[in-house]
Amino acid sequence: MDEQATSIDEYLDAVEPEFRKELERIRALVTRLVPDVEESISYRMPTLKYRDRALVYFTASKKHLSFYPSSWAIDELSDRLLGYQRTEHAIRFTPENPLPDELIEDLVRVHKREIDADRR
């Protein structure tokens, strides 16, 4: 992924199949949950925006994938993130230890709620 993608599809085209499948799953889950998201690339990462704000980012690295739902969502649901490496803004996972659909949806719901409340 040395080249800079200009769309999520272009980004995914450069990702190895096993990782791509996970990123496509996240994209589909978030889009189903929040149908009016807009797709973009921001900070060189696939981004799904809601109300002109980043709702989630998701990326593939050499050995893991990362999901960025917001520090608020990570803090609120931290008890459900045991077993995953995380930073203040990201959760790292692998295809062998993926984020469950329900967890992704709940993380998105928390961040959407905060955006709706205009939290900055």
Task: Give the tens place of pLDDT for each residue, 84-93.
Answer: 999 999 999 9
Looking at residues 42-52, what average pLDDT do you find? 97
Q: Is residue 1 a part of any domain in this protein?
A: no
Q: Is residue 37 a part of any domain in this protein?
A: yes
Which residues in 26-64 are b (16+ Cβ under 10 Å) and which e?
Answer: bbebbeebbeebeeebeeebbbbbbeeebbbbbbbeeeb
Give the Cα separation of 115 and 100 in Å (integer). 23
Q: Is residue 3 a part of any domain in this protein?
A: no
Does pLDDT of 1 surpass 90? Answer: no
Q: Which domain covers residue 31, as residue numbers?
A: 8-116
pTM of the predicted model, to two decimals? 0.94
Number of domains composing the chain: 1
pLDDT at 83: 94
Q: Is residue 48 a part of any domain in this protein?
A: yes
pLDDT at 117: 97
Q: Is residue 111 a part of any domain in this protein?
A: yes
- The CATH number assigned to the domain holding 18 equals 3.90.1150.200
pLDDT at 98: 97
Give the Cα separation of 65 and 99 in Å (integer). 10
pLDDT at 97: 97
